[in-house]
Structure 1
């Protein structure tokens, strides 16, 4: 039973489904050309896992940079160090001329662990968080208070086998999620509610299979929305990406027709 659960969890992390299809070009395409969106993947993933989201965002005129950093089998400090360098490179690559133009913004979107990476990065970059160039920040299925699934495998002494980064995602007060400072910038949260049957017993409340809705929520949210989607599909489902796009433009996930 334990072996099958491990297989399922890493199967979820290593595979995913998508319903994506090419979106219509946004009517305000050109107004986004001086805005960058930095996208950060989750545990046991790579930049390619965010390809469908990044392409959809790019088709709306944004400059997109997808962070690619190591997670499995790595110590937490190494993961945060390498991801920080990658984000710095994204900022550096942002078109110099456009980045200095009026209305220039750098947005951040993180899936799962990626959201914690963003929180860690911005906590270390006060100059950016107070800059007029900081745009919107969106967390997708991020375990902001830790994961019940990580707790389960930690109690079996199995989680450390995946490395220090994976082991840092528990609900323990000293874990990465619970040791990060509260964001001092506006942000929005999207949580999934469609769980994986084999993992259902690990949760007491609504969840996306790996992260509970309660854990995804974080004090100070500018906006929040729950969608009936599994954890891994949050990164590729076109509806979720459209919610992200709404937030980047309006700081709201659901946008009234008169605003669109």
Structure 2
């Protein structure tokens, strides 16, 4: 009898996480380069208490025990590229990521956004973390140009010809779903065992860099609202399951009297 409560509780927890994921998607609909979060559900199993003496691990002695949700997955489809008019905005048209020189030494990847020139003169992401390419911008530079293939040029005061100051490459992780989201369009590889492919923009599936553009989120509000209604109905069904378990328990207790 108690199994009904536990199964219902796992359903409430799983559907609650799914609703939170949808709410986070809707909240970030205008966040540059945001990638839609999604949830995967998997069945929970437990040993059948009525099968005493069964061989451990025997599939025939396993019974359903509810559901578990994994809300850490993301959908990495391309978002719409929108012009901003800001030369320090950079977008990636393709599957690649820019690599940052994180202080902890772990591989940190960025889908692009607004670049800035740090106090040390290096090109950095919006949060101040420098790019792994460690491109130093001259103090007397009046502008920075980034080509589709990643070549970075600086326009120097009183100089007619732009000067090349670095090259940006892109990184493609072997398994996108194992990346951990850090927020602000940043992702981290959980360990050094995950292979990555480094490529010049325009090669393979890395994509190209587009200066003066920002990648919009890949959220579709209509899809999110439909998902929200489905998850809310599932949540209500699980709540009803717990209520039915309570009613059955009340009937059983009444029979004992």
TM-score range, shorter chain: under 0.3
Q: Hey, which of these two has a bigger chunk of helix by percent?
A: 1
TM-score (norm 2): 0.21
TM-score (norm 1): 0.21
Greater relative contact order: 1 or 2 (C-alpha under 8 angstroms, separation 6 or more)?
2
Q: Hey, which of these two has a bigger chunk of strand by percent?
A: 2
